[in-house]
Structure 1
Amino acid sequence: MHRHEQLRLLTSGKAPEEVSTNTAVVEAFDSARLTQARQLAAMTKKALADQIGVTPAAIGQYELGLTKPRPDLITALADVLEVPPRFFQGGRPHARLDASMAHFRSLRSTRSYQRAKAVSFTEQVWELTYALEKRVQLPWIDLPGFAGGEVNPGTELPGDPADAARALREHWSLGTGPVSHLVRRMEAHGIVVVMPPADEDSATVDAFSTSRLPRPIVVSTPNRADNVYRHRFTTAHELGHLVLHGDTAPGDMQQEREANIFAAEFLTPRASIQPQLPGRADLGKLVELQRTWGVSVKSLLFRCREIGLLSDSASSRAHQRLHLLADQPGFRGEPVTAYPGEQPAMLAQAFDLASDHGLTMQTLAEELVWSPARVRTLLGTPNQRPRLRLVQ
């Protein structure tokens, strides 16, 4: 049978424009885009294959670039994975990551497909950043040791985590007191910080970061957002990974310990916090320090034990008391939403600035080949449609 007759049979019942689009997509099919879309949908190859009526092996061949899907399957793939058909067409900038290129805060409770989804989300964060950066000058990357740094690119930090934290505070002119607006300060130094929408997968994926893209990216997940103090420590932990472990493979527990040491020293420098810490487990005093320094009472108790102000047994008793007081005023977690300086804003503000010069949400979505809703999700801006309220 002639090739054109085969194509006509395969696409019977479809509009001419759809047939033309699907044929063009197949001709320039990008296998990595299929992988990205499938991972974002948190689907296995078998689950996707069942949905579109092919074998899991066929999906594997499409993703390896060994074969291409038939034109009539493009619409099915797009519908199941909730992307425009042209999403699978190559030719757009694509940041390619895998789970071995990201420092995940916790791996024990995270399944492989959830990490893959998080990594694909980060790829799209970079694509959005790249699209905006073509139109808006984002803050210069000022992160010592980062390969793509634009400010003092030859500057290196000490390898010791506490020394590195003190050196970065000095480099960023933070002084020796509390660090206010941690997330906004990181953004001001060129680090992309994002928080994905809450869903069942993000509930088990803890914060993570990567130095393997042209801009360092920190993803602060919603499961930390109910407590601003925990959120700040987690964010500082990821900052530690960026400056300490940019060239090393992630997943080492020693790296996690080093990132914790960095975060504690960065947020509460020992020389500054030690004179203020009580000589006994005075939880009332620690609540006051929590508000001043922006770290949790639990973190401050760890600091007391680390410095030697509390014995192991006294620290254990204090943690037990703290657990009993968890729902009391002063001890309850405060949500990040009450602290604008701890919420990402750089990408949304970049879009607003570009909008002032003619960029529309629709134009950006078409360039990225995403839906406008997807763009809003990654920008962290709510759906702008008015809400219908029925009066009874």
Structure 2
Amino acid sequence: MKTDQPLLPGTTERGVTPRAVHDAFDPARLTQARRLAGMTKKDVAEHLGVTPAAVGQYETGVTKPRPDLLPRLAATLDVPLPFFIAGRPSNRLDSSMAHFRALRSTPKAQRERALAFAEQVWELTYALEKRVQLPPVDLPGFAGGEVHPGVDLPLDPAAAARELRKRWNLGDGPVTHLVRRMEAHGIVVVLPAADEAARTVDAFSSRSPRPVAILTPNRTNDVYRHRFTAAHELGHLVLHGDATGDSRQEREADTFAAEFLTPAASITPLLPRRLDLAQLTGLRRVWGVSVDSLIYRCRELGMISDATASRGYQRLRALDGQPGFTPEPVDGFPGEQPALLAQAYELAEREKGLTIPRLADELGWHPARVRRLLCAPDTRPILRIASHS
């Protein structure tokens, strides 16, 4: 639903006139806003009364929209008029810089929409980080890592998972509060609202310039699937510098996630020698992984045959919804919900006097947009005020 009415020519929004926006028009902002809105160039053209080719020229910088068209353009894309002004920090992403769990089945328009969302996550993070010192990036293998710069993990996914557990001092038991731990090690984790641009893709992560993992809402009805997805994205961040979207990278991220959440040396003695769903359900709660994953782990570790695993999945589907076999929503597990950006804002608000309207003006967004991206529960990493701010 659009929140703004078009301005009349010559009037101002936040003290900015359409003529001033025209003079400082940033073509990349139009592309970002259009992708966030899930619109094609043809869609935008129809709203403006111009040709799709004209919109294409606006986005490439060949020409600029006339001043009288800019208020209508802002209203069409549901952004403030100053959104289009050049000069704000930005981080342009493309598909080679992000890992999508279902790349081939995700339409290009949906990927572009999700990438535009990730760009705005970076912009919000950058604005907050000017005021608040976020946890340093403690992620070996990540090019921008601050704690282990230039230190790579083993190429083998399982070995990399074991090494990261060691470096993060996780011991050999269950990983509790996975999302909170990722944030505490400098990874920005976002769980978009159901109406956000990223909802149309399964999950994805980006390595540049601060690691970001976006965990989409379609998995929040089951905390165990959600945790595996988070570990899967963590695997991409440490293993894969370039996103190819091929099945090999997806398998490697799955292997990493399985070993990170359930190390073979620790889980093997606990797994049943004969398929026992009741026993696996008990392990599910302790280790924070789904029974499906545990059945797969049994087969992967050679404890059951493929046929036995297949029968196990069939029995599991028949028990769906029964006590002990129901999904557990993420909202019942605060440690598995992002909190870093919300806590950073609260600290900047308390110590620096930052307000939502002020932050929105700085970003060129509607205040409601800022609030949506900051929405998070109360589980918080420890942050300090940056000494240079």
- Distance across 2 between alignment mates of 1:20 and 1:177: 57
- Distance across 2 between alignment mates of 1:12 and 1:326: 54
Aligned to 1:199: 195
Moved more, 15-24 or 331-340: 15-24
Residues 172-321 of structure 1 mapped to structure 2, 5 A cutoff: 172-199=168-195, 202-211=198-207, 213-246=208-241, 248-321=242-315
1:281–1:314: 8 Å Cα contact kept in structure 2? yes
Give the one of 332, 355, 367 matched to 1:360. 355
Aligned to 1:66: 62
Deviations 1:269-317 (A, max 9, x none): 0000000000111000000000000000000000000111111111110
Aligned to 2:9: 14
Q: TM-score, normalised by structure 1?
A: 0.92
Q: Percent identity?
A: 66
> Does 1:27 find its partner at 2:33?
no
RMSD: 1.7
1:202–1:223: 8 Å Cα contact kept in structure 2? no
1:109–1:205: 8 Å Cα contact kept in structure 2? no
Deviation for aligned residue 1:143: 0.4
1:101–1:250: 8 Å Cα contact kept in structure 2? no
- Distance across 2 between alignment mates of 1:322 and 1:279: 18
> Does 1:335 find its partner at 2:324?
no
- Distance across 2 between alignment mates of 1:70 and 1:345: 42
Q: What is the number of residues matched between the two proteins? A: 370
- Distance across 2 between alignment mates of 1:202 and 1:72: 32
Deviations 1:317-367 (A, max 9, x none): 010000111111111110000000000000000000001021111110110
Give the one of 128, 139, 142 matched to 1:143. 139
SS of match in other structure, 2:362: helix
Q: Higher relative CO (CA 8 A, sep ≥ 6), structure 1 or 2? A: 2
Aligned to 2:364: 369
Aligned to 2:95: 99
SS of match in other structure, 1:69: coil
- Distance across 1 between alignment mates of 2:273 and 2:200: 37
1:279–1:309: 8 Å Cα contact kept in structure 2? yes
Deviation for aligned residue 1:200: 8.4
SS of match in other structure, 1:315: helix
- Distance across 1 between alignment mates of 2:332 and 2:139: 28
Unaligned runs of 5+ residues in structure 1 are 1-10, 383-392
**Structure 2 counterpart of 1:311, which letter?**
S
Give the one of 344, 361, 373 matched to 1:378. 373
> Does 1:88 find its partner at 2:102?
no
Deviations 1:113-171 (A, max 9, x none): 11111000000000000000000000011000111111121321000000000000000
SS of match in other structure, 2:286: helix
- Distance across 2 between alignment mates of 1:296 and 1:69: 52
Aligned to 1:3: none
**Structure 1 counterpart of 2:290, which letter?**
S
**Structure 2 counterpart of 1:343, which letter?**
Q
- Distance across 2 between alignment mates of 1:203 and 1:129: 20
Unaligned runs of 5+ residues in structure 2 are 1-5, 378-389
- Distance across 1 between alignment mates of 2:225 and 2:31: 33
Aligned to 1:126: 122
Deviation for aligned residue 1:196: 1.1
2:337–2:376: 8 Å Cα contact kept in structure 1? no
> Does 1:346 find its partner at 2:340?
yes
The verdict on how the C-alpha distance between 1:234 and 1:297 changes in structure 2, with shifts beyond 3 A counting, is same
Deviation for aligned residue 1:15: 4.2
**Structure 2 counterpart of 1:254, which letter?**
R
Give the one of 30, 43, 47 matched to 2:43. 47
